[in-house]
Amino acid sequence: MSHLTTVLAAAEAHVELPMPTWAFGAIAIVVFLLLLGVTWSYKDVANRHSHRSAADAASHAGAPGATHHGTGHPTQGH
């Protein structure tokens, strides 16, 4: 029992933090808001320049191996 009390007493040693505890939470919130801003900036990027890629997409639509929605899976002779 004396070993357990010694370990618990050593664990209660006071450690001075470099800043107040609320500052760690504030930093975390700011970091997550910055990451949210980065993620939000990529919203709808694929559709921004559809007028530029429409002709290119149409020319590649008939390429061998091209897949189209609604055509199902190609058969492999199974």
The pTM score is 0.47
Cα 45 to the center of its chain, rounded Å? 16
Q: How far apart are CA 65 and CA 62, in angstroms?
A: 8
Tell me what pLDDT residue 33 has: 98
pLDDT single digits (tens) 32-66: 999 999 999 988 777 766 666 666 666 666 666 66
Give the containing element (helix H, strand E) for 25: helix 21-41
